[in-house]
Amino acid sequence: MKTELTQQKSSLTERSVNTLSHLIILLPQDCLKAKSSQGWPALPHQGVLKQRLKRGGDEAALLTTDLPNKASTRVTLSGIKKEMARFELLTLARKLAVPHLAQNPTTVSITAVGFTDEEAEPLIKAMVAALLAASCDMPSFKSKADKPSKLRTIQVLGANKRIDFSRTIAEADGNNLARQLTTLPPNELTPAIYRKRIAKLAKAHDWKMGFLDQAALKRKKAGAFLAVSQGSTEKDAGIVHLRYTPKIARKQQTPLALVGKGICFDTGGTNLKPAQYMHGMHEDMQGSAVALGTFLALSQLKVPYVVDCWLALAQNHIGPNAYKQNDVVTASNGVTIEVMHTDAEGRMVLADTLVQAAKLKPALIIDYATLTGACHYSLSARYSGGFTNREVLIDEVISAGRNSGERVWPFPIDKDFDDELKSKVADVKQCTLTGEADHILASRFLQRFVDDTPWLHLDLSSGNSKGGLAHIPTDITGFGVSFTTQLLFDNDVLTKIK
């Protein structure tokens, strides 16, 4: 059941507060300090709140307490610094949501007092995003299932200006979908099962759906993709193609293409992973889940241009037919590839998928993949890596990351990195065996398959972050949906690239 958002202009009164079960109050931090000349804005139960806040020290500017009223209203009060970075604000919002959602309420109310309408809007949106993320029910297979979230209403109180939450909701829906899919165990999300789930979504949202199965990929000579999938006994791998078309599309607007790596389980292939590194490899399809979640968000927001979504669904299995080191295969654009390591399968399935996406000459391709350990070693799980063949996008990537709270940092992909990928028997090596700068080399490899199409590759090193990240409370973060909407809407990159 969807959570409803309501807005009321009326200011808080003691009588109205006494009817609430859960209330989050956001105030300028400066007004909470003992020596502040600004003073508290008018609030119901102000005396009680001041007294209880003082016990923890004014500088803490954070309080959770139950009011001494008939409803025992649980109140969280927090001071907000001016010009707080988006990541910091979202992280605080998650912290403020915890004491309320721990009681599994049906309704949570939010108010921002002492701010202008322009100042209050991003604060309230951050709080709503945190509540929507934390109240999302994740897949569970416990015999005694966790209680589902009862949150059905988020109330915004005292807002003079009506706030448009459509994008906040769409981003939350996309992120929640990505996290739910990525959480599913590998026996519950094989490529065949995944495709059925996608088909249901396509029917519900009126998306056009196609599927390039093994036979179709053989006809297209997609040898890079087929090399990975040939180790599976189940011949269910393939490339899903979704298309969203608005009722009224911009004239002469070429489509945006989203591409996702969907390795539903990665054993490492014949270069078998040890147990500690194979654990969690059902999450190796998170790139496809983020692409799909972003696609869902854009279609819900009814963007006025065509969007394609390409999902490379496969498993990297071992067996007598599995591909192996020193195999030479040919991708669908004619590039021959020498296999160096079977655990570098993601770039192989993406290669042929990017070729298919680029054939339609989109204005921009964005691909998402949990691709390399090197990117994680470089950035940790706090950031994801960005790689692009258009310099104009570099500053946009940094800006969109900062302003969305899903931080991305760009890496170089200069041509001389190709020296490391020279093969004696093929056009290119799949990777090197040293692992040095593998995130950069993987990007140089992938660039061969987009032709000259404007392209942004996201290596999702922050796809899993222990304890959550920003407003997301789960280890699996679904990172990338909000970053992409920021890039498209606020940074307007489709008008800036050539």
In 81-149, where do the E strands start and end?
Answer: 107-112
For residues 309 and 367, give the distance between their C-alpha atoms in angstroms, rounded to a whole number: 10
Tokens read off for 194: 């995944």
Residue 347 annotated among the catalytic residues of the structure: yes
- Which one of the listed residues 33, 95, 197, 273 is annotated catalytic? 273
For residues 147 and 155, the answer to whether their CB atoms sit within 8 Å is: no
**Cβ atoms within 10 A of the Cβ of 152, count?**
14
Contact 408, 398 (CB under 8 A): yes
Side by side, the strands of the sheet bearing 153-157 are 4-8, 153-157, 107-112, 22-28, 74-80, 62-66
Backbone angles phi, psi at 222, to 5 degrees: -85, 70
Is the distance from CB of 65 to CB of 25 less than 8 angstroms? no
Closest among 318, 308, 351 to 332, alpha carbons compared: 351
Residue 480's region, left for phi above 0, alpha for psi from -120 to 50, else beta, is: left
Contact between 342 and 271 (Cβ < 8 Å): yes
Q: How far is CA 461 from the centre of its chain?
A: 11
Alpha carbon of residue 30 to chain centroid: 33
Edge-to-edge strands of the sheet including 238-244?
208-212, 238-244, 307-316, 256-266, 364-369, 455-459, 384-388, 408-410
Q: Of 332, 343, 337, which is closest to residue 371 (Cα–Cα)? A: 343
Q: What are phi and psi of 201, to 5 degrees?
A: -65, -40
SS3 (DSSP) at 408: strand
Beta strands in 107-218, from DSSP E residues, in sequence order: 107-112, 153-157, 208-212
Residue 23: strand pairing partners: 75, 109
* Residue 273 is among the residues annotated as catalytic for this protein: yes
| Closest of 254, 248, 245 to residue 295, by C-alpha | 245
Q: Which residue do the tokens 């399935």 mark?
A: 349
- Given the residues 261, 347, 407, 429, select the one marked as catalytic: 347
CA 138 vs. chain centroid, Å, equals 15
**Catalytic residue IDs:** 273, 347
